Structure 1
Amino acid sequence: MSDPFDRAVRDHHRGEREAPLLQRDGDRVLEHPIEEFYFTAPAGEGLEWLEAHLDGPLLDLGAGAGRHALVFQERAETVAVEVSDHLVATMRDRGVEDARRGDMFDLRSTFERDRFRSVLAIGTQTGLAGSMRGLRELLGDLAFVTTPDGTAVLDCYDPTVEATADLLGYRADPTPGLAHRVMYFEYEGETGDVLNFRLFSPDRLREAAAGTGWTVTAVRRSDDENGRYYRAALEKW
């Protein structure tokens, strides 16, 4: 059975979506902005910031409908990875040249060492690592598949920012700089698996990176939402 999220993105691409994609946590419900998050091409200062920290060959993890891959493949070899056949097919339909099904938490069995110069993981899916240990393991895998001068860009919501507590599914954690976000998607009456995201502050990301070969070199916060969302650039040292 396909995931409701994947089907909703596919149907949106085909012009067949008649129902909203919903995010749910108990009685709280929000409509997920598919067009804005997955089909609007990156541009402006946000894109320029990414370009300054990424180079090819590029691995785009959790690539969604391929909005970043479509831009970066014009500059360098770009491999876009998604765990869903529906999303891979959508990316290919949209012109992504190398879209593949794969698991971002099983990279060592998919790609050889030093395969990429940079990794992009935008969409807060890094939080699905589930724990600080899981985050360290993921960073270790990213180090494995990137060259000695590799770079990466990850994103997350910062639990140290007060506005983050307003997120649907937010769960506080007594450990400073950490929190959880628990939610699931619903589309046309079908519900997906419960997703448990680990939220970590930039300082916690720096802590997790220690010993993995990575160093956080830059952090860019969103201009809206009181800066609760951020992107972090990492380099190998």
Structure 2
Amino acid sequence: MEDVFGKALMDYHLGNYTEDILTFSSLDEEDAIPLPYLFRNFEAMPLLEQKAMEMARGSVLDIGCGAGNHALYLQEKGMKVTALDSSAGAIEVCKKRGVINPINQTLLEYKEEKFDTLLLLMNGVGLAGTLDHLNVFLRHLTSLLKPNGQILLDSSDIIYMFNQDDDGGYWIPSNGNYYGEVTFVMRYKGNKTAPFPWLYIDYNTLQNACAANNLSCELVLLGPHYDYLAKLSLKEY
């Protein structure tokens, strides 16, 4: 797949910023990802991310690390961080920015080490792709946890994007899929990705999936727009 994301990050890092990444979704939405935002410092992070930074402890795996903002912040606090991303360009940018342990691999390929904290921020749970794949995804995350480890993830309930009727119900397409399953294409400087699935998951559905996979699920913080930060951990018996 064309590394559109990695090329955009590298351009920005090298001072060649002329345009943002465009995204096109199955919700018939066109949007842009501003490249400066992908290089934000702690002060510019949303409260959900700042809270996750404060809660991170021990050894940390930053999953879908992008340009390495979270890894760099935690490194500066003296923490041991592994930064993981499937984008070779993103990992190259991480190296250039001083991330100590960046790894270019997909999450499901990665099996080398166990951690005290797994970070999945900027809707990192979206990497699961679809609701049907969520159990496999959660089981793999569990395999990367130390006994008292934690998973910190944020997501959004995108129910607000659907039309509401007079009774307060929502008109959701009856295609049999969970409404939080979205397909995206990213485009940058004439290059575009193949369509890829991305999962937005409401908190109740996440709770149910955790219960089915021997995980406790705690709502840590609600964001301003249907978003939330959750902490997952292995259930104790």
Settle same-fold status: TM greater than 0.5: yes
- The superposition leaves residues 83-118 of structure 1 with CA deviations (integer Å, 9 ceiling, x where unpaired) of 1211111001111111111111233xx324xx2001
SS at match of 2:18: coil
Cα RMSD for the two superposed structures: 2.5
Between the aligned partners of 1:195 and 1:165, the Cα distance in structure 2 is 21
CA apart distance, 1:177: 7.2
Between the aligned partners of 1:176 and 1:84, the Cα distance in structure 2 is 28
- The superposition leaves residues 31-88 of structure 1 with CA deviations (integer Å, 9 ceiling, x where unpaired) of 212212x211123854552144321200000000000000112331000001121111
- Structure 2, unaligned stretches of length 5 or more? 164-170
SS at match of 2:152: strand
Structure 1 segments (4+ residues) deviating >3 Å? 25-28, 43-48, 171-178
Between the aligned partners of 1:9 and 1:204, the Cα distance in structure 2 is 33
- The superposition leaves residues 119-158 of structure 1 with CA deviations (integer Å, 9 ceiling, x where unpaired) of 0011224223233331121111111111111101112221
Q: In the alignment, which of 103, 108, 111 is matched to residue 105 of structure 1?
A: 108
TM-score of the pair, normalised by structure 1: 0.84
1:141 maps onto 2:140 in alignment:
yes
Between the aligned partners of 2:59 and 2:157, the Cα distance in structure 1 is 29
- Structure 1, unaligned stretches of length 5 or more? none
Name the residue aligned to 2:157.
158
SS at match of 1:12: helix
Q: In the alignment, which of 64, 72, 75 is matched to residue 74 of structure 2?
A: 72
SS at match of 1:200: coil
Q: How many pairs does the alignment contain? A: 223
Alignment of 1:32-181 (within 5 A): 32-36=33-37, 38-43=38-43, 45-75=47-77, 76-107=79-110, 110-112=111-113, 115-160=114-159, 162=160, 164-165=161-162, 172=172, 178-181=179-182
Name the residue aligned to 2:24.
24
